[in-house]
């Protein structure tokens, strides 16, 4: 029978540097002399947060040391574990020698050594003839998926660093890399100066190259990452990323400097910065700026596919009944055929919005004051590039808006909704021979909508709702003395079928008297199925010529809008939206499908849009898109993307990414192809490879354990 003794208090009491009491549990305790105490049989020692188990322990009071026979297991209480055959340790277990030992750091990295020497109060652990790995070793094998073998390893627990001497990296037992000296962070360290995981990238334009990030800790709240990138095509790049955290905000700066054969003799690169700050009292400051040397740089180096760059400084404040926003924006176009002298280069927007509940009228009201300006660098007052806009037109607008909404519900279930919008706009237009001066515009829009939902349910909790809607809206005719700068793209869908105004901006408004007709349908079941549909159109008293034919809103009668959706209990969803003219010919069509299963996530769709010069779309758009992720096994994941242009009968862009991750290794292999071209960007193929050894500080989270063969 095991006996619980507090005799080990004698051990640490004899040590001047220890004040904590120790607890010993053993089958047998023998006092062999005045200075020697022996515990044998299922020995357990609890001391200062540490837990030791062993076959036997001998304590010598004269030397204040422990002779321990295995099997030995020491848990330091901080996630680290030591296993050994025998040991000669100080009484507090922090110094001494262990033989045939294994050390497990934070349940991630395992180091096996012939001999382990602990010193300096447990700060340093020196190991000889070491094999280190975070991989699981399958039964019947002594070879992990990868390991680092070294003549000597020193773990500095205080600095959270591991030093390897005469080290070799091996995969499946085969040496692949020799490193005379190697330093890596231990699993407890998230940030440390040193090299990060390299990335191999191959493109048809640049050749093969290696990105080798070097991370530099500048302080507890600052760091810098420098990433050299040398390619076989003669290119050399230095990437940088600087990050700093403040008490009330953060700043990140990314950039690169390049010389290559794409533009021989010219320096290429980009610089981008972002920042966000809490200014107090609910105010938020956001900053973003970007500049680039040439139109193709961001695409060539896989940084971004953006073809218009925006730099902004904005302040916002959101309250329950108020909203404020002020933003300055600089724009730079990378699109083929667009000139930055005739495109808006600088914008400013300021918005003050208040919501209130009028006691007399009931319902809800809103008031908004908005100031907007745009500037074009060109000083030409006529349209020389045939885009319908004077090349140098500058404009300033001040808008005052107010609206009121209220609903009434009758005993038979009918609901009457009213809405009134009023707006006053003051303009200053310069450098335009067609639109000029200081025009003023006052507008008002009113509407009434009548809805009558019909509900049916059965004993199986299937509910169906049919809701016919009739809405009449009236507004004055549009003012043709005001140019339309912010409402050139108009959507017609189920979200705005019953809107008072379908123009997204303030320069244009939907005029005339019209009737919006539609019906909504919704069906839900207790098994998780949901289906719905919306159909409707717009009937006008007269055609004011505000909309183009491809928009679906032109003429006295708009196209028919039909929208449907289905969501199933097995996480399959389908959404379709079409615009049909009176001859049932398609004007626009969109079909979206998504599937979210344990092993498969997929989204895709089909888009059809007619060419529309009013929206700067010179060709019909017919595209298929697919984005899917499939878990092939618990360790392997495949990600496939594709965009196919049906009009051109060719793939516009495609990509495949394979990811393998287990408890000790992450491999990411990708290949993508861009088929489209322009004067600045050529079709190219991009290959990428990243291999990361997991288990060290700052590495990715460990994945599921790899499968062992039976």
Domain ranges of the chain: 3-194, 439-619
Instruction: Collapse the DSSP code of 635 into the 3-class scheme (helix H, G, I; strand E, B; otherwise coil) and give the result.
Output: coil
Task: Work out the average pLDDT over 529-543.
Answer: 96
Task: Work out the average pLDDT over 542-555.
Answer: 93
Cis peptide bond prior to 229, omega within 30° of 0: no
pLDDT band at 204 (very low <50, low <70, confident <90, very high): confident
Long-range contacts of 326-331 (CB under 8 A, 24+ apart): 326/350, 326/351, 330/289
Task: Work out the average pLDDT over 365-388.
Answer: 94
Q: Is the pLDDT of residue 431 over 70?
A: yes
Please give the pLDDT value at position 707: 67
Q: Which two tokens stand for residue 388?
A: 């319908």
- CA 41 remoteness from chain centre: 56
Q: Is the pLDDT of residue 6 over 60?
A: no
Lowest mean pLDDT among 383-387, 397-401, 639-643: 383-387
Please give the pLDDT value at position 1: 38
What is the C-alpha separation between 38 and 451, in angstroms, rounded? 90
What is the C-alpha separation between 321 and 384, in angstroms, rounded? 46
Please give the pLDDT value at position 708: 66
Q: Is the pLDDT of residue 529 over 70?
A: yes
What is the C-alpha separation between 20 and 8, in angstroms, rounded? 11
Residue 531: count other Cβ atoms within 10 Å of its Cβ.
Answer: 16
Please give the pLDDT value at position 680: 65
Report the relative pairing of strands 236-246 and 512-524 from DSSP bridges.
unpaired
Residue 309: count other Cβ atoms within 10 Å of its Cβ.
Answer: 19
Q: Is the pLDDT of residue 585 over 50?
A: yes
Lowest mean pLDDT among 236-250, 402-416, 609-623: 609-623
pLDDT band at 210 (very low <50, low <70, confident <90, very high): very high
What is the C-alpha separation between 51 and 23, in angstroms, rounded? 10
Please give the pLDDT value at position 536: 97
Instruction: Collapse the DSSP code of 173 into the 3-class scheme (helix H, G, I; strand E, B; otherwise coil) and give the result.
Output: coil
Task: Work out the average pLDDT over 90-103.
Answer: 89
pLDDT digits 0-9 by tens, 284-336: 999 999 999 999 999 989 899 888 999 999 999 999 999 999 999 999 999 88
pLDDT digits 0-9 by tens, 610-659: 999 888 888 899 999 999 999 999 999 999 999 999 988 889 899 999 99
Please give the pLDDT value at position 141: 73
Are 561 and 494 in contact by the 8 Å Cβ rule? The answer is: yes
DSSP 472-496: EEEEPPP-TTS--SS------STTT
Nearest Cα neighbor of 607 from 572, 577, 565 is 577
Q: Is the pLDDT of residue 5 over 60?
A: no
Are 424 and 399 in contact by the 8 Å Cβ rule? The answer is: yes
Element (H, E) at 297: helix 297-300
Task: Work out the average pLDDT over 467-493.
Answer: 93
Task: Work out the average pLDDT over 187-199.
Answer: 86
Lowest mean pLDDT among 416-420, 516-520, 542-546, 614-618: 614-618
Please give the pLDDT value at position 16: 34
pLDDT band at 481 (very low <50, low <70, confident <90, very high): confident
Task: Work out the average pLDDT over 215-231.
Answer: 95
Q: 73-84: buried (b, 16+ CB within 10 Å) or exposed (e) per residue? A: ebebeeebbbbb
SS3 content of the chain, % helix, strand, coil (to 5): 5, 60, 40
The residue assigned the tokens 């390049």 is 258
Q: Is the pLDDT of residue 253 over 90?
A: yes
pLDDT digits 0-9 by tens, 670-692: 999 888 766 566 788 899 999 89
Q: Where are the beta strands (DSSP E) in 220-267?
A: 222-231, 236-246, 249-259
pLDDT digits 0-9 by tens, 120-159: 988 899 999 999 999 988 766 778 889 999 999 999 989 8
Q: Is the pLDDT of residue 547 over 60?
A: yes
Q: Is the pLDDT of residue 600 over 60?
A: yes
Cα–Cα distances in Å, from 405 out to 248, 355, 558?
Answer: 39, 11, 26
Nearest Cα neighbor of 557 from 571, 575, 543, 545 is 543
Q: Is the pLDDT of residue 8 over 60?
A: no
Q: Is the pLDDT of residue 280 over 90?
A: yes
Q: Which two tokens stand for residue 185?
A: 């962070």
Please, what's the largest Cα pairwise distance for the chain?
114
Mean pLDDT of the chain: 90
């Amino acid at each position: 029978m095991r006996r619980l003794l507090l005799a080990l208090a004698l051990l640490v009491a004899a040590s001047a540097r220890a004040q904590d009491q120790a607890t010993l549990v053993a089958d047998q305790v023998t006092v062999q002399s005045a200075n020697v105490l022996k515990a044998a049989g299922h020995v357990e020692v609890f001391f200062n947060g540490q837990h030791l188990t062993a076959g036997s322990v001998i304590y010598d009071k004269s030397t204040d040391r422990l002779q321990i026979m295995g099997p030995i297991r020491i848990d330091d209480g901080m996630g680290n574990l030591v296993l050994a055959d025998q040991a000669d340790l100080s009484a507090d277990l922090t110094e001494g020698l262990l033989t045939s030992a294994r050390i497990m750091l934070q349940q991630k990295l395992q180091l096996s050594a012939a001999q382990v020497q602990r010193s300096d109060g447990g700060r340093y652990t020196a190991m000889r003839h070491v094999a280190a790995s975070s991989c699981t070793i399958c039964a019947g094998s002594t070879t992990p998926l990868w390991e680092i073998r070294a003549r000597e390893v020193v773990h500095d627990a205080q600095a959270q660093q591991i030093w390897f001497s005469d080290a070799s990296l091996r995969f499946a037992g085969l040496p692949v890399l020799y490193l005379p000296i190697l330093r890596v962070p231990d699993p407890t360290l998230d940030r440390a100066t040193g090299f990060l995981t390299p990335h191999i990238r191959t493109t048809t334009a640049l050749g093969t190259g290696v990105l080798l990030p070097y991370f530099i800790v500048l302080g507890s709240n600052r760091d810098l990452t420098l990433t050299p990138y040398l390619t076989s095509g003669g290119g050399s790049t230095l990437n940088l990323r600087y990050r700093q955290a403040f008490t009330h905000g953060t700043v990140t700066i990314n950039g690169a400097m390049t010389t290559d054969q794409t533009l021989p003799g010219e320096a290429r690169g980009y610089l981008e910065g972002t920042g966000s700050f809490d200014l107090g009292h609910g105010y938020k400051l956001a900053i973003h700026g970007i500049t680039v040397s040439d139109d193709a740089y961001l695409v060539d180096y896989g940084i971004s596919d953006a073809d218009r760059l925006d730099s902004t400084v904005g302040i916002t404040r959101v309250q329950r009944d108020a909203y404020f926003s002020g933003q300055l924006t600089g724009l730079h176009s990378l699109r083929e055929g667009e000139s930055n002298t005739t495109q808006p280069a600088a914008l400013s927007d300021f918005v003050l919005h208040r919501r209130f509940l009028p006691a007399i009228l009931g319902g809800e009201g809103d008031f908004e004051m908005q100031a907007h300006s745009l500037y074009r660098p060109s000083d030409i007052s006529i349209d020389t590039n045939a885009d319908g806009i004077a090349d140098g037109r500058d404009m300033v607008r001040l808008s005052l808006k107010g609206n009121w909404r209220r609903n009434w519900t009758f005993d038979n279930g009918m609901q009457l909704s009213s809405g009134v919008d009023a707006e006053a706009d003051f303009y200053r237009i310069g450098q335009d021979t067609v639109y000029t001066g200081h025009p003023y515009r006052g507008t008002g829009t009113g509407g009434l909508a009548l809805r009558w939902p019909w509900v049916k349910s059965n004993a199986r909790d299937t509910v169906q709702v049919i809701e016919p809607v009739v809405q009449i809206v009236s507004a004055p005719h549009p003012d043709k003395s005001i140019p339309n700068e912010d409402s050139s793209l108009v959507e017609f869908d189920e979200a705005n079928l019953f809107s008072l105004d379908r123009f997204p901006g303030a320069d244009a408004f939907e005029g005339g008297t019209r009737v919006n007709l539609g019906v909504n349908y919704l069906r839900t079941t207790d098994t998780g199925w949901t289906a719905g549909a919306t159909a409707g159109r717009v009937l006008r008293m007269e055609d004011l010529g505000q909309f183009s034919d491809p928009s679906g809103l032109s003429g006295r009668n708009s196209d028919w809008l039909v929208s449907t959706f289905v969501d199933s209990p097995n996480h399959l969803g389908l959404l379709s939206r079409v615009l049909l003219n009176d001859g049932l010919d398609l004007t626009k069509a969109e079909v979206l499908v998504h599937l979210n299963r344990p092993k498969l996530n997929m989204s895709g769709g089909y888009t059809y849009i007619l060419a529309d010069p009013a929206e700067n779309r010179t060709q019909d758009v017919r595209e298929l898109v697919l984005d899917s992720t499939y878990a092939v096994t618990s360790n392997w994941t495949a990600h496939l993307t594709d965009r196919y242009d049906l009009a051109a009968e060719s793939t516009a862009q495609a990509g495949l990414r394979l990811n393998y991750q287990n408890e000790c290794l992450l491999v990411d292999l990708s290949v993508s192809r861009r088929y489209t071209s322009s004067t600045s960007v050529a079709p190219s193929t991009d290959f990428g490879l990243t291999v990361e050894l997991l288990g060290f500080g700052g590495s990715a989270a460990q994945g599921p354990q790899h499968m062992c063969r039976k």
